[in-house]
Amino acid sequence: MQSRLLSLAEAVANVTIGFIVALLTQMTLFPVLGLRLPMDRHLLIGTVFTLVSLVRGYMLRRLFARYGHGGG
Q: What is the pLDDT of residues 34-71, one digit of tens each?
A: 999 999 999 999 999 999 988 898 888 888 888 886 55
What is the pTM for the complete model shown? 0.75
In the 8-state DSSP scheme, what is residue 69? Answer: T
The per-residue b/e assignment along 21-53, b for 16 or more CB within 10 angstroms, e otherwise, is ebbeebeeeeeeeeeeeeeeebeebbeeebeee
Is residue 46 within 8 A of residue 26, CB to CB? The reply is yes
